[in-house]
Structure 1
């Protein structure tokens, strides 16, 4: 079977796992949002800032190096496991000591107690990282599918009854810990690998050389992903942080349902073809084109129906969440277009390229965020959309210089999707706000927008859709897959 065919088959299982988890996850999320208040989510989000920082060390550091390592060597997995576990112990102790300072930073003493309990998650996540990386390396996404389903349902079974019983934000904490423990137990059951009490120093040094750049990129990615919530929480308080972070989580769930399964498959795919740059170049621009066809209409559609989505999903107590959802949807749609670039840079042994790009953007993001937040949440959201467009431009320039993808190819991959999505969003907005005699309601307006967009894309992108279909029609590893052009 071809390399692309293997990836397509793995992507189908990864997509099923992501879809299943993101069907259960959002349902739990919506139920909890209707029971709990924005402040409850804000308190937990403030503590999660620190926990998510710790996760960078294993999910974006040595675990990436383990996937990229050309040999399926058990000694490499042993080294990553023990290094990650040692880092987890150090980070857990450091965060326990830093809990009062973090609570002071966010102006809410409740954050300290929440962080102390969530520190239990750190060693559990570190232990999970190696088994997950090995399954991704071996394209065992079918096993990961079942693990994702069970470990996603677990937090809901714990959180919802506790929330209904009046536990408040502690219901969210309990759900996180139950989900992490369940994931570890399932990975241990399904994984054929078991850690041995030894470390190959030479191999560890080799992994660390690659992992340091991937880790630095991950740390910048963490700052890139959490800087906005940190700024909102510090300047506007827990309630506004809860509103902002919950709206952002909803948007992330929507986009993640479609695109998150693609990333681990792409990294494994690119790693196998890391020396065939022309082939990788064509694969990346094809992926970006396909992402644009889906991301831009999703973003503009959520923006057009932002008030309706906020009211239906979250209810009356979440006033203002519709505006957050609409503008962040545009921001996420723009950002996902270059979402696969970092996977390619890491796969070809150049993780420092993404690190450099992200560091450059952080230098711009920090002063813009600090300036915009002083004018309130609306100005901050507007700034986020503008910065996403600027970040996409930076990624286009970097890909041109590093792997020779000309900017006009990025423009071609986005222009028709952006045009069609814009026209469809205007139609949706007009129908949703039409005079009383012509009013169709948000559901019918959304359906009209989907039909209009589909018709325009079928007309404007017919040849690309044919090509994409020839790739996606691979049904099993026994069947040959269509190859991407080689440049």
Structure 2
């Protein structure tokens, strides 16, 4: 019989990821443990579960620090570059990045996700994945160089895009050299190592791009920073990684990785259309200037949400893969994750929507006129889209990536039709249509989660509706205060929004997530 001391991190993880009934049992257990300070386990499985929870929280801490560090640098760099460059500069880079991102689907082929999920010989699997990526990277790079002229002239109608695509082709091979190493670090939950890699490779592009932009190099400042940062990532990853490739591959493992990776790659292709199809259509119909406005405004919102929720995804996938055989545990974990994301993402969306004018005036100059609308509507779109952000990680972890692929295929049809119809009426109509389509897609993904992991839809929708009803009326209140001149300055509006959101959320969740968090903090101090 093993004896271990109770850990607040273990309890915190279970509160986040387990069902309410289990939370209640854990609270009672904690009360008993406060006197004895020991927990007796009768089998190794329970101990393994706590060890798994501890490992997850440790990984989540470093993953979160990685995102915080990178996002602390990126907004500063972004603001400086936005004042030195034009929407057109960003539009040209966005067009080329769109193509490079599309190519990643074919050279990466889902092997990284397959490697993380693979339960056999890790070294043999890693070696197979590495040589698959290198081979496909060479083929894809050659295709990009051959087609760059055709793409720039017939799709983006801008000859400057051709040379940018040619130069950024180097990024394909640099990424192929590190994708397997990064997947192995994620599989082992070695996010502490990834933290330092992310920190260095985010800081170095800033050192390169800002001086070049200051000296009038335009979009080449962005490109140079990207390539130097990618090169540094290769050097650091190969230095710290314990694994190195060897010549030769196991054909059977290649087949296994390809079967799983094929679905992941197909999902990646569909994800590309979700991420880039809107930009592609804007660039095709409206030009580089509007594309720069849209991509940059969307990037601001993406950075904000990515800083909060980005660290969760790689850690959740690794954890879901670890508990994939326990479907009930996967279900309860996913439900609790959705609750926490909803509690944070919808209030953030409302706050950004009501204060988009202040953000655009603070960050951008007059040449960026029109970006306020993009920021405000995209804030709502991302806020609700993130509610189902962890669903795909759960599907892939339990070995059912096809479900996400099929769902995205069906909903993508409506996205494309909506994009083409709305773009005929200009950028404003397009942006609002983008929001409406995202809301409809959330419902489809919740239905799929019900089928795959038996997620309870009614409690999930009820919780989303509750938080929405609390937050959305604050939009009208904030505007009413502004119109009545009670808050004459935008900074006062921001303060009022924060206070109103805090009071409303406290009133709704004081006996839910907030009470649970405070209980944990209190127990930790008492201990």
Give TM-score, length-normalised by structure 2.
0.87
Q: Distance in 1 between matches of 2:261 and 2:521?
A: 36
1:375 aligns with: 425
1:479 aligns with: none
Report how far residue 397 of structure 1 moved: 1.3
Greater mean deviation of Cα atoms: 295-304 or 108-117: 295-304
1:481 aligns with: none
2:177 aligns with: 127
Matching of residues 14-413 of structure 1 within 5 Å? 14-57=63-106, 61-71=110-120, 73-104=122-153, 105-413=155-463
Report how far residue 250 of structure 1 moved: 0.8
Q: Distance in 2 between matches of 1:309 and 1:459?
A: 28
Q: Distance in 2 between matches of 1:178 and 1:146?
A: 16
1:364-414: CA deviations, max 9, x gaps?
Answer: 111110000000000000100100110001011111222222321221231
Report how far residue 473 of structure 1 moved: 6.7
Which has more radius of gyration?
A: 2
1:47-91: CA deviations, max 9, x gaps?
Answer: 001111122346670000000012462111111111001111111
Report how far residue 212 of structure 1 moved: 0.5
Report how far residue 422 of structure 1 moved: 1.2
Task: Note if contact 1:155-1:178 (Cα within 8 Å) is conserved in structure 2.
Answer: yes
Q: Distance in 2 between matches of 1:443 and 1:428?
A: 12
2:61 aligns with: 12
Task: Note if contact 2:63-2:315 (Cα within 8 Å) is conserved in structure 1.
Answer: yes
Report how far residue 9 of structure 1 moved: 2.0
Q: Distance in 2 between matches of 1:475 and 1:164?
A: 53
The structure 2 residue matched to 1:425, chosen from 469, 475, 492, is 475
1:469 aligns with: 517
Q: Distance in 2 between matches of 1:182 and 1:467?
A: 45
Report how far residue 300 of structure 1 moved: 1.3
1:484 aligns with: none
Q: Distance in 2 between matches of 1:85 and 1:148?
A: 22
1:441 aligns with: 489
Task: Note if contact 1:79-1:199 (Cα within 8 Å) is conserved in structure 2.
Answer: yes
Q: From the superposition, tell whether residues 89 and 41 of structure 1 become closer, same or farther in structure 2 (CA, over 3 Å).
A: same
Q: From the superposition, tell whether residues 13 and 470 of structure 1 become closer, same or farther in structure 2 (CA, over 3 Å).
A: farther
Report how far residue 214 of structure 1 moved: 0.7
User: Residue 317 of structure 1: SS of its match in structure 2?
Assistant: helix
Number of aligned residues: 474
Q: Distance in 1 between matches of 2:367 and 2:333?
A: 45
Aligned-residue RMSD, C-alpha: 1.9
1:480 aligns with: none
Give TM-score, length-normalised by structure 1.
0.94
Q: From the superposition, tell whether residues 468 and 256 of structure 1 become closer, same or farther in structure 2 (CA, over 3 Å).
A: farther
Q: Distance in 1 between matches of 2:494 and 2:401?
A: 40
Q: Distance in 1 between matches of 2:159 and 2:519?
A: 53
Runs of 5+ in structure 1 lacking a partner? 477-487
User: Residue 511 of structure 2: SS of its match in structure 1?
Assistant: helix
Q: Distance in 2 between matches of 1:9 and 1:467?
A: 23
Matched, 1:457 2:488: no
> Higher relative CO (CA 8 A, sep ≥ 6), structure 1 or 2?
1
Runs of 5+ in structure 2 lacking a partner? 1-49
Greater mean deviation of Cα atoms: 127-136 or 397-406: 397-406
Report how far residue 434 of structure 1 moved: 3.8
Task: Note if contact 1:9-1:475 (Cα within 8 Å) is conserved in structure 2.
Answer: no
Task: Note if contact 2:506-2:514 (Cα within 8 Å) is conserved in structure 1.
Answer: no
